[in-house]
Amino acid sequence: MAIKSPAPRQPAAKGKSKKSGKRRKESILAKIARKLFKKKAEEASDKYEVANPMYEYNEEGREVERPLPHGLTQKEAKVLKQVRKNAYKLDYTGCCGCGCSCCGLRLGKTTMFGVIPALGPIIDVTLGVCKVNLKAQKVDLPCGVKLMLYVRHGISEIPGLVPFVGGLWIAWYKVNSRNSFAFERYLEERVRERRKLLGAE
């Protein structure tokens, strides 16, 4: 009786073995993890990201200058406009007057100076203090409000010392814009207090 030779072994299809199946499964999980992380990162960015201090979008989708709060004195309105303008120039426009983007972030002078080792953070703080903090103090801010203006600079510049990642942090945090909005909120609170006093009289 003739002996049948064994049938030739067929090569395993790609991705069918347990080992390759495991690799494929890990790849899918990695993709899911990346998607979840990206979604969480975007949610956190939307929640904590600061808005443009000088411009907003109207109902037609056009960029227009943000209106000033009602009830400000002439001096308060003048100082707020200057603070907004300076914050916008520092956080949204470069040295040439135009802005550029990186990783979805608008880059301004603070980001460009921030990449300079050692000297960059000093330049950033000096510009922010002179152009925003000291301008805001022309309307006699209370100590607590003035202190927080400087605390935000620390929050911005200390992580900003880390190469590259620190530059992205400075670009996202936009300390001068945050200080501009904090100053604006204080002025709105001051207007409400004045109205209460007038109503009491």
Mean per-residue pLDDT pooled into runs of 10, the chain (201 residues): 50 45 44 53 57 90 92 96 95 66 63 73 90 95 96 88 78 93 97 86 59
Tokens of 192: 């409400």
Distance of CA 109 to the CA centre of its chain: 14
**What three-state secondary structure class fits 97?**
coil
Which residues have C-beta within 8 Å of that of residue 12, sequence separation ≥ 6? none
Which pLDDT score, from 0 to 100, does residue 12 have?
47
List, in order, residues 6 or more apart from 116 with CB less than 8 Å away: 123
Provide the whole-model pTM: 0.72
pLDDT of residue 158: 85
Euclidean distance between CA atoms 115 and 99, whole angstroms: 16
**Domain range annotation of the chain:** 69-200
Identify any residues that bridge with 107 across adjacent strands, giving them in sequence order. 100
Angle at 12 between CA 16 and CA 24, to 5 degrees: 25
The predicted pLDDT at position 94 comes to 66
Distances, alpha carbon 85 to alpha carbons 32, 79, 88, 104, in Å: 42, 10, 5, 22
What does residue 130 show for φ and ψ, rounded to 5 degrees? -70, -40
Whole-angstrom distance, CA of residue 53 vs CA of residue 29:
40
The confidence score (pLDDT) of residue 168 equals: 79
Structure tokens at 116: 């300079």
Q: Please name which of 108, 103, 122, 109 lies closest in space to residue 161, comparing C-alpha atoms.
A: 122
Residue type, 5: S
Please give the radius of gyration of the chain, using alpha carbons only, rounded to the nearest integer: 27
